[in-house]
Amino acid sequence: MTQKKTVHMACLTAADMREIAARAPVLLLPLGSFEDQGPCTPMGDYLLADKVAERIALKATGQGYETYVAPVLPFGGADYFGYMPGGIALSQTTLRAVLTDIFECLLTRGFKKIIVLNGHGGNSAMIHDVTRQIMKQTEVVIPNLYLWRAASELLPQLLGAQKAQLSAGHGANPLFSIAMHLCPDLVKPEALVRPEPDKEAWGLKVADFGQVSLNGVSVSLPFEGDVTATQGIGRGDPALCDAQTGLKLTDRLVETGVLLVRHMTEKNS
């Protein structure tokens, strides 16, 4: 029986992994969260990060840059989502320990080319802290591509500045469009709600997820996300999201990821 090639480390045997390790490939570490993504999108955005990672690894390997995907970390660092029934998050202290242990396991076994593909804002600060400490101790550089921030930066090019601004936000673009493309069987467009335009928190008008406006200036508040969001929806309008936008965003993220793999390979050759 011919076995289908996999880029997922979890699907490889120990013998496979010993052989692969000797070639010092690039490893992708996808991270995500399990939280409120709005009423239309599955709570596990880590599913999307894992799918994007797989596409990057397959395309990079096909271009001659051998790449594999480490098991996705499904639980993100706690920030705004403690209110969500069923949601699971790690304290920032725990996230630091988990990331430190993951990197130590890989680095001590000779894997020096590691790229983080992050799918949760609450992970960002700790990824930076842990990878910076590793760089200071070992001179190994572990870049972090925050997938949804990168996709948000691409939105104006794909939709135009006005539509990008109106559609971008938690529970809307880019995540909802990407989910419509990558996981069409899991999204529920019929459950769509739009953000409340006059929502207030702490006596001030809500500006965005976790933020209010004070005389035209955004101020962040330490409240749970449901205080400023409408069923997980920030300022973006999910009605402006669609699978075609998700396809274009995914393709651009994969292109970016492959470029990063290539750059890392050439820097470490």
List pLDDT tens digits, range 166-220: 999 999 999 999 999 999 999 999 999 999 989 999 999 999 989 999 999 999 9
Structure tokens at 16: 């496979």
Q: What percent of the residues of the chain are helix, what percent strand, and what percent coil, each to the nearest 5? A: 45, 15, 35
- Start-end of CATH 3.40.50.10310 domains in the chain: 9-146+251-267
Structure tokens at 174: 């880019």
Q: Using 50, 70 and 90 to split pLDDT, how confident is the model at 4? A: low
* Predicted structure pTM score: 0.96
Fold of 9-146+251-267: Rossmann fold (3.40.50)
At 268 the pLDDT is 87
Q: 67 by DSSP, 3-state: which?
A: strand
List pLDDT tens digits, range 55-113: 999 999 999 999 999 999 999 999 999 999 999 999 999 999 999 999 999 999 999 99
Task: Give phi and psi for 67, each to the nearest 5.
Answer: -140, 140
